[in-house]
Amino acid sequence: MEVTQVLLNAQSIDGAVRKNAEESLKHFQEQNLTGFLLLLSGELVSEEKPVETRKLSGLILKNALDAKDQQRKVELVQRWLSLDGNAKSQIKAGLLKTLSSPVSDARSTASQVIAKVAGIELPHKQWPELVGSLLSNVHQLPVHAKQATLETLGYLCEEVSPDVIDQDQVNKILTAVVQGMSASEGNADVRLAATRALYNALGFAQANFSNDMERDYLMRVVCEATLSPEVRIRQAAFECLVSISSTYYEKLAPYIQDIFNITAKAVREDEEPVALQAIEFWSSICDEEIDILEEYGGDFTGDSDIPCFYFIKQAIPALVPMLLETLLKQEEDQDQDEGAWNIAMAGGTCLGLVARTVGDDIVPLVVPFIEENITKQDWRQREAATYAFGSILEGPSPTKLIPLVNVALNFMLSALTKDPNSHVKDTTAWTLGRIFEFLHGSAVDSPIITQANCQQIVVVLLQSMKDTPNVAEKACGALYFLAQGYEEVGPSSPLTPFFQEIVQSLLTVTHREDARESRLRTAAYETLNEVVRCSTDETAPLVLQLVPVIIMELHNTVEGQKLSSDEREKQSELQGLLCGCLQVIIQKLGSSESTKYLFLQYADQIMGLFLSVFACRSATVHEEAMLAIGALAYATGPDFVKYMPEFYRYLEMGLQNFEEYQVCAVTVGVVGDICRALEEKVVPYCDGIMTQLLKNLSSNQLHRSVKPPIFSCFGDIALAVGEYFEKYLMWAMSALQSAAELSTHTTGDDELIEYINTLRNGILEAYSGIFQGFKNSPKTQLLIPYAPHILQFLDGIYMEKDMDDVVMKTAIGVLGDLADTLGSHAASLIQQSVSSKDFLNECLSSEDVMIKESAEWAKLAISRAISV
Amino acid sequence: MKWLFKFDKDKWQKRQRQRQMQKNLRSMESIRKIKRELILFFKRNHEFFHVERCIEDAAGDPIAIQKMFDSIPVMVRDMMSGNESFQLAATARVSFLLSTENPPIDVVIQSGVVPHFVRFLYEQYGFQHKLYSVSALYAIGKGSLEQAVAVIKHGAIPMFIRLLCCSEECYQLKELVAAALGSLANQSPDFRDYVLQFGTLTPLLSLLDNHLEPPMLHEKITLLRACSNTLAIFCQGNPAPSFNQIRSALPILRRLIHLNPPVGVIGDVFEDACLCLSYLSNGSAEQIQALIDADVCARLVMLLGGFFSDGKIVEHVLRTVGNIFKGVDSQIQILINNGVFFCFNAILMHGSNSSVLGKTCSAIPTLTARGRNQMQKIMDAHIIPSLLYLSQSDNYDVEVRWDAACALSNAARRGSNEQIRFLVNQGCIGPLCDHILCPDRKTSILCLKGLKSVLKASEIMHSTRNLYTLIITDFDGFGKVEKLQSDPDIGEMAMKLLMKYGV
């Protein structure tokens, strides 16, 4: 095969040629993978070949090593590891050789491929000479090779985890990188590559950051790089600083003053990409301190691993004025651009974080700026003042803020309708939303919204919904929080008199021509849902009137005409909004018997529409419709059975779709809803459901987040069908048992431990459901053989001492369920378990009411089991 | 953009689309969590939520009862636990077992749960807790004396009184409490006095007082019945309760005997009230005066005029009347003024109930014993012919004839010569002779004594010839007396009579 020509053809503008070339590449890859990869690496390394084919062959190589899909990735890794060693050596040698190619695209491609190979091989202790040979390159080769090698080191650090490379090699890598960054390095490309490499290598530098001298040195080099004449180096250096601020927060004290000076200069004088990173540094420090202070505020007073250095508190006299300055640097029309991001926005964001970090202290620093600018002629000043005000509404105490808000509210309301500048109106509406979000609601002692101004607020917001899309969207947002604040207001809401008008206005917004393309329509539905959710019984008849309106809207979306894929996407999105809205309404009306009864007259019609929504797609089910069906099942109860014959296939389709794991997870949840609604009437559908659930569990493609809900779902099914679950018992128990074994012990980061606890909870819920489902049935003895393992699981997770409160409550409940259902059959087993003693006692003396309650029940169940 | 702080455009846009979905998902998840927990809660507390059905199923099924019996230790544990639903389920079961044919009272007492039954009567426990506990305590209190002691010992009575006084209606509970108090008082006069000593009577009376107004719901009536029954228990016994302790019941009793119509359960309440009056009237003249002052006499006499199928009410009233006949003359006169004799006559002439007839006959000697003055009033009221008729009528039980004969012979014994003449002229020698060989010794003796009295009067009135011996001979009186000579008690009297008057 003339590979160069094929690769060129694969990039042809002629579709037929391209397709043909792609197919022959694919064919060759399937015929002889090793030969194919060798050929590609040969193409990449060859200086005679055109740059396009070298790049493409590198890209194909890279794709042969890694994929986004987790399952595919595992396959590719296995495939690479099983390839012939000689061929691999040849490929790797070619890659390394390419690093010194004069063609920059070839070098760059090779760096990425090397990193991918390293990502596979280093964890398996293969290619041990890689780091050494790269490092030797750095010291010898021409400038362009040096740059490529540093780039490779950077990718390498990104690709492999720190524990794969030993400290000695880390030291060498860092030394090489830092040397490349230092001012003495004459070549800017090398410095840039080194600085970017350091960014990735920072995670490897734990030991080095603990050593004062090494840290001083590293910090000096980074700070120096922020002063480089080359803007990309300065930006990369600031990115390093941002990364250091979160990774090594506790080491920053000696440098913080210098860093402030550097960042202040950059914010005021440097180009925007650099200035944005300089601001990001302070945002990142805020994030750190907010986390630490939150932990301080929690149960473990002063028990945080990292102490708070109060950098922000000390810096605000200088930091806040600097940030306020940035607010005045708005771009024209930034309010129209949904993706806009600039200094002013970054500065406002940082100001908000500072407010959350220091609380009340920020107020006197910002108020003069607001007062000075809010009435100025220049819209920039008015907008900056408003933005500053809006930014500091979260953090300071209500006592401090409410007097300000009381003064400002009228001004804001009038600005929202009268200010000539759309940008100012946008920010004003946003600020009103923040006022309602943080200072309005049952938790705030002195209300800022009174009978006197409530009507005015509603009128102004409804009027603003007719403004430009961006202003209208923010007005919807403000209304959202206005409604939310009245969530727990009691039987009568101040919004009741305006309810009809609000709903009408929101529906009008959803029909605006310009709402379709922007976020406005979503915002309007979101607000409509919140208004409905927080409404009181007084307005229940009006909510009921809304049902046929939304039904009609949804009906319009399923009217069959042929749609382009883009239109189909839009249709699906709108259906999502409408199904979501119906769900909120179903839940609202379903929550009281009288309104539920009235609502149910629409149930058939709604269910019919949901099925039509499903029918709009062939490959997968509509998530929002699926979820809304879950809500409908609670409203209809056992009557839902009449929809099952038609609905079942979509249910099955949702369960089968584990590629889109959210769809699968949502469907699993709905299975639970249906079990609770139908109880034993779900039996005819259980074979199919259980088969699919078990199949999903046994697939290694299933996203892990779906497993816990599947296990909980076992419990739901068992509770619904009782002893009929016998059919699936063996399979379910075996799946539970292997999951239980895997989740007894935890190692890993917080995220993994959190996941393991979720998984344990799912498993335990399944056990509870199965035990209670079988209780009082003659078939309880079928469960006896599983008792030892379940008790072992309980003992195991207890000894591990890393259960969260939820798991603890569920686990002690399972102990009780086991005793309750098996009674004297399990008495001696229970008495032998650690759970029935230490664990139970620990739960009995828990401060968590739920745990204690569960434990008391378990204690009783055990004593009953033992006493007979 | 400003809704979010951290800048990540892609993530933000995705989040914007998903935000709505996420919110709805969270709301569904929280509902699921609640529903799942609710279902588990119901299943875990199945025993409690299904206890009534379990009990219903077990009733009349000896195997199920035995099974329940065997699990008493579990129930005891449940009752002692802190879980209210288990306490309740267990209490219900134990109280059900105690209501069966062979209640395991001793087992229950020995298990130590009686104090828990009492504990469940405290305010913080729910209605069901109280109901089942009272029912259990009631069952234990109905047992032997020793068993009843267990109830008293653990302080049930003050709790019972609190429940009676509670402001909520809960008829069913109060009915059980009243019955339980009655069963304890019924154990012995000591128990009765012990129960009364807590001031039990006052709340009992106010319960009666407060529930007499219409509408007469069924549960209200059964509550009244339990109270009246217990009140009757409080009034009775030997020795009788101290009159001062129970005289406060009189005004209520007066109201009760005015209930109308006295049929069905109301009839039972009515009857209890009459029974109470019969006990209260059994005492000193002051006691009788208290009844008269309570203004019950007119109504009592009126009751004699009506006819009630079972006659119980009349019997109680007759006993009361008999008791008042033991009072002073002025007290008796009140009954007479209200027409008591008229009623007596009506009963004796038209009555069909043997027991009532007998009791009526028996009331008369009480009065004849009060002296000739009272006897004269009886004679004037034309009661003698009725007695004569009854003493010879075959329409009633033989006892009725005997009672009538006793009344006649009593009159003959106590009467003045003139009155005896009147009696003889009315024809009373025949019945006396007829019943002299009555299998009932009392009747037999009385008739003998009556004959003796008649002969003695005749001796005085007819100095030459004892006219009445002829009449007696006509009825073969002496022949019958002869047969009594061998009697160990009255043989001598018979012999003397024969010797003195025998022909």
Q: How far apart are CA B335 and CA B317, in angstroms?
A: 12
The encoded tokens of residue A339 equal 């993706």
Residue A149 contacts B, CB cutoff 8 Å:
no
For residue B73, list chain A residues with Cβ-Cβ distance below 8 A. Answer: 867-868
Q: Which of A435, A521, A864 should one mutate to test binding to chain B, selecting the residue with the greatest count of B CBs within 10 A? A: A864
Q: How far apart are CA A610 and CA A600, in angstroms?
A: 15
Report B:69-128 residues touching A (Cβ under 8 A). 71, 73-74, 77-78, 81-83, 86
Q: In the predicted model, what is the mean pLDDT of chain A? A: 90
Ranges A247-251, A359-363, B2-6: which has the least confidence = B2-6
Q: According to the model, what pLDDT value does residue B25 have?
A: 87
Residue A1 has pLDDT above 70, yes or no: no
Q: What is the pLDDT of residues A596-631, one digit of tens each?
A: 999 999 999 999 999 999 888 766 778 899 999 999
Calculate how close chain B gets to A54, using CA atoms only, in Å: 31
Distances (CA, A) of A700 to A691, A696, A738, B358: 16, 8, 14, 99
DSSP type of residue A204: G
DSSP B264-310: HHHHHHHHHHHHHHHHHTSS-HHHHHHHHHTT-HHHHHHHHHS--TT
Q: How far apart are CA A661 and CA A654, in angstroms?
A: 9
DSSP B52-99: HHHHHHHTT-HHHHHHHHHTHHHHHHHHHSS-HHHHHHHHHHHHHHHT
Q: What is the longest distance spanned by two Cα atoms in chain B?
A: 147
Going residue by residue through chain B, which has 503 residues, state the pLDDT in tens, using 9 for 90 and above: 333 333 344 444 445 556 778 888 888 898 999 999 989 988 888 776 677 777 777 777 888 888 788 888 888 888 888 778 788 888 988 998 998 888 899 999 998 899 999 999 998 888 888 999 999 999 999 999 999 999 999 999 999 999 999 888 888 899 999 999 999 999 999 999 999 999 999 999 999 998 888 778 888 889 999 999 999 999 999 899 999 999 999 999 999 998 877 778 888 999 999 999 999 999 999 999 999 999 999 999 988 877 555 678 889 999 999 999 999 999 999 999 999 999 998 888 888 788 888 889 988 888 888 888 888 999 999 999 999 988 888 888 888 888 898 999 999 888 899 999 999 999 999 998 989 888 888 888 999 899 999 988 888 888 777 888 888 888 888 888 888 888 888 888 888 888 888 76
Q: In 3-state terms, chain B is what percent helix, strand and coil (to 5)?
A: 75, 0, 25
Neighbours of B328 (CB within 10 A): 12
Cβ of B73 within 8 Å of Cβ of A867? The answer is yes
Q: Which of A715, A669, A710 is nearest to A810 (CA)?
A: A715
* Mean pLDDT computed over A485-492: 86
Instruction: Answer whether A548's CB lies under 8 Å from A556's CB.
Output: no
Q: How far apart are CA A238 and CA A274, in angstroms?
A: 7
At B406, the amino acid letter reads C
Per-residue pLDDT band at A789 (split at 50, 70, 90): very high
Cβ of B9 within 8 Å of Cβ of A341? The answer is yes
Q: How far apart are CA A746 and CA A351, in angstroms?
A: 39
Phi/psi of residue A166, nearest 5 degrees: -75, 160
Q: According to the model, what pLDDT value does residue B395 have?
A: 83
Residue A863 contacts B, CB cutoff 8 Å:
yes
Q: How far apart are CA A201 and CA A427, in angstroms?
A: 40
Q: How far apart are CA A296 and CA A300, in angstroms?
A: 6
Residue A849 contacts B, CB cutoff 8 Å:
no
Burial-class residue A395 by CB neighbours within 10 Å (0-12, 13-18, 19+): buried
For residue A341, list chain B residues with Cβ-Cβ distance below 8 A. Answer: 1, 7, 9
Q: How far apart are CA A592 and CA A590, in angstroms?
A: 6
What torsion do the CA atoms of A254, A257, A259, A265 make, to the nearest 10 degrees?
-170
The encoded tokens of residue A374 equal 């809010």
Instruction: Answer whether B408's CB lies under 8 Å from B431's CB.
Output: yes
Cβ of B83 within 8 Å of Cβ of A856? The answer is yes
Report A:66-125 residues touching B (Cβ under 8 A). none
The pTM score is: 0.71
Q: According to the model, what pLDDT value does residue B307 have?
A: 58
Burial-class residue A618 by CB neighbours within 10 Å (0-12, 13-18, 19+): exposed
Calculate how close chain A gets to B215, using CA atoms only, in Å: 32
Q: What is the pLDDT of residues A804-859, one digit of tens each?
A: 999 999 999 999 999 999 988 888 899 999 888 899 999 999 999 899 989 988 98
Q: How far apart are CA A366 and CA A394, in angstroms?
A: 13
Report A:513-532 residues touching B (Cβ under 8 A). 519, 522, 525-526, 529
Q: Which of A678, A765, A860, A868 should one mutate to test binding to chain B, selecting the residue with the greatest count of B CBs within 10 A? A: A860
Calculate how close chain A gets to B83, using CA atoms only, in Å: 7
Q: How far apart are CA A807 and CA A816, in angstroms?
A: 14
Mark out the alpha helices in A559-682 (DSSP H runs).
Answer: 565-590, 593-599, 603-615, 623-636, 644-656, 661-678
* Mean pLDDT computed over A293-320: 80
Q: What is the pLDDT of residues A136-157, one digit of tens each?
A: 877 776 888 889 999 999 999 9
At B192, the amino acid letter reads R
At B259, the amino acid letter reads L
CA A494 from centre of chain: 36
Three-state SS for B19? helix
Instruction: Answer whether B245's CB lies under 8 Å from B263's CB.
Output: no
Phi/psi of residue A856, nearest 5 degrees: -65, -40
Neighbours of B122 (CB within 10 A): 12
Q: Which residues contact A418 (CB under 8 A, 6 or more apart)?
A: none
DSSP type of residue B215: P
Across A231-263, b (16+ Cβ under 10 Å) vs e yields: ebbbbbbbbbbbbbbebbbeebeebbeebbebb
Q: How far apart are CA B103 and CA B108, in angstroms?
A: 9
Q: How far apart are CA B58 and CA B45, in angstroms?
A: 19
Per-residue pLDDT band at A864 (split at 50, 70, 90): confident
Phi/psi of residue B215, nearest 5 degrees: -75, 140
Instruction: Answer whether A535's CB lies under 8 Å from A488's CB.
Output: no
Residue A772 contacts B, CB cutoff 8 Å:
yes
For residue B49, list chain A residues with Cβ-Cβ distance below 8 A. Answer: none
Alpha-carbon dihedral sign for residues B87, B88, B92, B93: negative
Predicted complex: ipTM over 0.85 = no
Q: How far apart are CA A710 and CA A696, in angstroms?
A: 9
Q: According to the model, what pLDDT value does residue A304 have?
A: 53
Distances (CA, A) of B489 to A600, B344, B403, B439, B486: 94, 34, 21, 14, 9
Calculate how close chain B gets to A261, using CA atoms only, in Å: 24
Q: Is the peptide bond before B239 cis (omega within 30 degrees of 0)?
A: yes
Q: How far apart are CA B19 and CA B26, in angstroms?
A: 10
Q: How far apart are CA B280 and CA B322, in angstroms?
A: 12
Q: According to the model, what pLDDT value does residue B503 have?
A: 63
Cβ of B7 within 8 Å of Cβ of A341? The answer is yes
Mark out the alpha helices in A637-778 (DSSP H runs).
Answer: 644-656, 661-678, 683-698, 707-721, 726-744, 750-774
Write the residue in B23, B28, B44 that is nearest to A857 by C-beta. B44
Residue of A nearest to B85 (CA): A857
What torsion do the CA atoms of A755, A757, A763, A767 make, to the nearest 10 degrees?
-160
